[in-house]
Amino acid sequence: MKRPVIIAARVFFLTLGALFVIVGVSRGEFAEVLQKAVRICLECIGIG
């Protein structure tokens, strides 16, 4: 049986992580990160 403190900590950090993901998507940071990833990938293969 897991201790209630460990379960509460897991739920808290899972909720906090989900909140940060929602805030990031709502601010449009997903598009910026995707754009940078594509740029880095193209530089890696020598196109960009």
For residue 33, the enclosing domain spans 4-45
Which residues, other chains included, contact 24 with Cβ-Cβ below 8 Å and sequence gap of 6+?
30
CA distance 28 to 40: 19
Would you list the DSSP string of 3-47? Answer: -HHHHHHHHHHHHHHHHHHHHHHHTTHHHHHHHHHHHHHHHHHT-
Per-residue pLDDT of 1-48, as tens digits, reads 679 999 999 999 999 999 999 999 999 898 898 999 988 888 888 875
Q: Which pLDDT does position 2 carry in this prediction?
A: 73
